[in-house]
Amino acid sequence: MSTPSAPYPPSGGFMNAVRDSSRLLRQKSNIKIESDSIKRLLVSPAFTTSFKRVSGYHGLAFPLNFVNSLAELNFLSILSLLNFASGYRVPLHKQSGRGAWDSIRALLFSMFLGSSTGSGDFLSGEGMKAITDQKVSELMGLSVHTEKPHETIIGITVGELGGPAYELVKLVTKTLNETGNVLVDGGYKDLGCFVLEALKEGEKVKIQKGTPDADVEVVLERLVRAFPGFRDMGEVDGQPIYCFKKALFLICGITVRFGSLSKSKSPTPPFPIPDITNIPICADNVIPSLLIYLGVIDLSESPESLSSLFPKSDLDSLLAVDPTSSAVEKKPPKEVPKEGPILTNDQAFILRAAAIDTCELIVEHARTIEVPPTQGEDGESLEWIRKISLLEIDTWLWAVAKDRSDYRKLERFVLRNTVFF
């Protein structure tokens, strides 16, 4: 059964709606977050020896020759719109050797190259409106057919449209078509033009109100209200829940990618840069799953439908230094991952809400945590833990899940037929 849609949060309160609804849903589901579990993670060798290195990886530096910053903004905006497919991670690995994020990045590269070579402007509003399943499957390099025995001829198999890859292609096509329709009807050349307008409006409101988060609120609200693909919200047992993962990812991406240009020799982008200091995390399936394995999200007193989902993890091993970090040889090639527990929409919303609230609590506890004076052979101070940000926690959890071979083997929960993560 699909989760009912929720009403929009009050104007100007979209970020608070993410935080408040997540905490309420987490508490209502009897999911515990203990301060001792948070401290155990923050002072663990797994965290302290990898955080500074891993939390700086965002995967938003593209090896492409954009004509200007606005073209790159449009590319980043569409990449954020299509930043889903986590439920198809295993089928994607089997077909292409790539996971969800790398598959979507490869699709955007193909769309960009196709547009640059005159094969069709897939990155424009008109191009997104007109793109077909066949073209998307071609650009993604996916086979969308399944083999089945012929109904009357023994020994003969026939191909027909179907299977996980076909489901994913249809989701991508629908998201592009819907977004293209909104853009064309609104008179926007592409998604980047819409985002540019929202950024300028947000900066204006921020100056008028004098509040640091006003610009983020404007951009977030405009994205969510305008495009179904950013409308990541629902109801669980009558309670609204707001995650807005992809819209928040886009706003963070703009700051990460363009925020440092003013400090370099590159031309300053012709649009305002949002202040993402207090922005909630971008909750997908990776972050809650990893927080469960690392012993921070405690499902032991939750309903059995949640508490029985994940196997018990070896905390001592997972919180220790990466056993392969000092290896001279390169880490072995990635294997096809094992499918994790398949969830309902409600279950996925609950765990994503728990992850959002957990990260808020991690940063809150980090501000006052008593840290050991030194760590490791070099005697490095751990005072930096007190200054970690939500974005850094978000990025560390997402990136370390790929960085450590033992973490990559941990099963992540699966939700199919969603365009939100």
Query: Quick one: pLDDT band at residue 19, thresholds 50, 70, 90?
Result: very high
- Taking the C-alpha atoms of residue 8 and residue 18, their distance in angstroms, rounded to an integer, is 11
Q: Are 75 and 62 in contact (CB under 8 A)?
A: yes
Q: What is the pLDDT of residue 150?
A: 60
Q: How far apart are CA 125 and CA 140, in angstroms?
A: 20
Structural contact between residues 270 and 6, judged by C-beta atoms closer than 8 angstroms: no
| Contact indicator for 197, 70 with CB cutoff of 8 Å | no
Measured between alpha carbons, how far apart are the two ends of the chain, in Å? 18
Average pLDDT of the residues of the chain:
91
pLDDT tens-digit map of 338-380: 899 999 999 999 999 999 999 999 999 999 988 777 654 456 7
User: Angle at CA 62, nearest 5°, toward 61 and 64?
Assistant: 145
C-beta separation of 104 from 84 below 8 A: yes
User: Token pair of 266, please?
Assistant: 């590159």
Domain ranges of the chain: 14-408
- Find the mean pLDDT for residues 84-88: 97
Q: Answer with the residue of higher pLDDT: 7 or 328.
A: 7
Q: What would the pLDDT profile of 150-205 be if each residue is shown by its tens digit?
A: 677 777 766 677 899 999 999 999 999 999 999 999 999 999 999 999 999 999 99
What are 211-264's pLDDT values in tens digits?
A: 889 999 999 999 999 999 999 999 999 999 999 999 999 999 999 999 876 555
Residue-level pLDDT at 400: 96
Map tokens 């994503």 to a residue. 352
Burial of 262 (0-12, 13-18, 19+ CB in 10 A): exposed
Determine the pLDDT at residue 46.
Answer: 96
Q: If DSSP codes are grouped into helix, strand and coil, which group holds residue 161?
A: strand
Q: At 324, is the pLDDT very low, low, confident or very high (cuts 50, 70, 90)?
A: confident
pTM over 0.85: yes
pLDDT of residue 330: 45
For the segment 31-52, the average pLDDT, to the nearest whole number, is: 96
If you average pLDDT over residues 43-70, what whole number do you get?
A: 91
Burial class (CB in 10 A: 0-12, 13-18, 19+), 147: exposed
How confident is the model at residue 328, as a pLDDT? 41
DSSP letter for each residue of 86-145: GGGHHHHHHHHS--HHHHHHHHHHHHHHHHHTTS--TTSHHHHHH--HHHHHHHHT---E
At residue 374, the pLDDT reads 62
What is the predicted pLDDT for the residue at 265? 57
